[in-house]
Amino acid sequence: MRAAVLKENYRIVLEDVKEPSPGPGEVKIQVRVTGICGSEVHAFKGTHPYRKPPVILGHELAGDIVEVGSDVEGLKVGDRVTVEPQIGCERCYMCRRGLNNLCESKIVLGTQEWPGSFAEYIIAPAKVVYRLPDGLSYEEGVMVEPLAVGVHAVRWSEMGLGDSVLVLGAGTIGLVTIMAARQAGARRIFATDVLDFNLAKARELGATHTINVRQKDPVSVVLEETKGKGADVAFITAAASPVVEQAIKAVRKRGKALLIGFFEGPADNLEIFPLTAKEIDLRGCLMYTAEGFQNTLDMVAEGQLDSRPLITEVLDIAQAQEGLEVMDKRTRDAVKILLKF
Ligand SMILES: [Zn+2]
Ligand SMILES: [Zn+2]
C-alpha cells in the first residue's frame, strides 16, 4: 500500500509499505481523507516527544471498513468511520474513571507503535472506531478529532453560561475552542493571534473581539472590556511563555487558565506569584475522553458544530511534504489542510 512516511526530520517520502491485516477485535480501514495536525508539524520538525521517524504519521481520519477481524461486533465491511486515535488499557486507575486520555499505558495513532493514517490502510481496535452518520462527509468525519479537543477543553474549564473567555492563539485548536465556547454559552470571546487571516476566521466562528497581538496588548483590551475584572477563563492554545503570562494577567481573580497548546520546552521567566495572589486555577488539558469524542461526533452530526470553515485546502497524499511545510512555515494562509487518497 502507499504511505507517506516521515523518514527523518523535514523529509516525507511516499513509499510502498506492507499492508496490515486486522487481528482479533480489530478492523482494517481504507483511509479516504486524513488531516494534518499541529502534532504532525512537531514530529516533522523533530520536536515531538514520541512521534519519531521513521514513522507513518496521521491521527485524524475518515474512511471505510474493508476487513473485520474475529470477535468484532457492531461494525461491518463498508461502514464509513472515523477513529478516536488513542487506545486506553481499560484497567488502570484513570481508565476506570473514564479518563482514557490519561491512561498510564496509552497508545496513540501516528506512532511507531500504531502506524498512522498517512497510509492507504490502518488497523484499529473496534472499540475506538465510530460510525459516521449518513449525510456526514469524510471531510467532516476527519474534523471530529480536532473539534473534540475544543469540546474537551471547554468542558474541563467548567465555563459558565454568560462567561467571558479569552482564547490565546487562533490556529485550529484556538478556533475549535472558540466554536465550543460559543456553543457552551460564552457571552464574550476574545481571540488573539499574530495573523489577520486567523483572526478573521475567529470572528467568523464566534469570537466577539479579535486582537492582533502585534498591534495591541491583549491584556489591556480584556481588562478594559471587562471593566477591570478580567476574563473568567483563558484558553492557552499558542504554546509560548508570554502567552501564559498574558493569560494569568487577563483572567479575573479565581479565574481559570487552561493549557491546551503543546509546549516544546520549559516556560521562561514565568511569574508564579500572580497565580497565588489571584487564586488562579492553572489547568493542563490533554486530548479528550472517549465519551467526549462521541459527544463531539453527535454534535457534528446534529449540526451544532460545523467544521467546514476550518478546512482551507485538500491536497493529495503525495503532497504530504508540501502540506507539512505550509503548516510549518506558513508560506500561505491555512487552518486545516486535509490529505486525500
Ligand atoms: Zn489532531
Ligand atoms: Zn489505562
> How far away, in angstroms, is 139 Cα from ligand 2 center?
30
> How far away, in angstroms, is 146 Cα from ligand 2 center?
22
Which residues surround the ion ligand 1 when the cut-off is CB under 5 Å?
37, 60
What ligand has the least distance to the C-alpha of 117?
Answer: 1
Q: How confident is the model at residue 239 (pLDDT cuts 50, 70, 90)?
A: confident
> How far away, in angstroms, is 290 Cα from ligand 2 center?
12
Backbone angles phi, psi at 238, to 5 degrees: -105, 115
Which residues surround the ion ligand 2 when the cut-off is CB under 5 Å?
88-89, 92, 95, 103
| Domain 2-143+307-340 = CATH 3.90.180.10 | yes
> How far away, in angstroms, is 25 Cα from ligand 1 center?
24
pLDDT tens profile 98-125: 999 999 999 999 999 999 999 999 999 9
Residue ranges per structural domain of the chain? 2-143+307-340, 150-284
Q: How far apart are CA 114 and CA 107, in angstroms?
A: 7
What ligand has the least distance to the C-alpha of 98?
Answer: 2
Residue recorded with cell 474512511: 63
Q: How far apart are CA 264 and CA 341, in angstroms?
A: 31
> How far away, in angstroms, is 110 Cα from ligand 1 center?
10
Query: Who contacts 266 (Cβ-Cβ below 8 Å, separation ≥6)?
Result: none
pLDDT tens profile 184-219: 999 999 999 999 999 999 999 999 999 999 999 999
Identify the pLDDT of residue 263: 78
Query: Who contacts 6 (Cβ-Cβ below 8 Å, separation ≥6)?
Result: 12, 43, 44, 53, 54, 55, 56, 57
Q: How far apart are CA 68 and CA 66, in angstroms?
A: 7
> How far away, in angstroms, is 101 Cα from ligand 2 center?
8
Q: How far apart are CA 23 and CA 82, in angstroms?
A: 19
Identify the pLDDT of residue 318: 97
Q: How far apart are CA 88 and CA 149, in angstroms?
A: 17
Other CB atoms closer than 10 Å to residue 54's CB: what's the count? 11
CATH of the domain spanning 150-284: 3.40.50.720
Arithmetic mean of pLDDT, 255-263: 90
What ligand has the least distance to the C-alpha of 41?
Answer: 1
> How far away, in angstroms, is 39 Cα from ligand 1 center?
7
pLDDT tens profile 132-179: 999 999 999 999 999 999 999 999 999 999 999 999 999 999 999 999
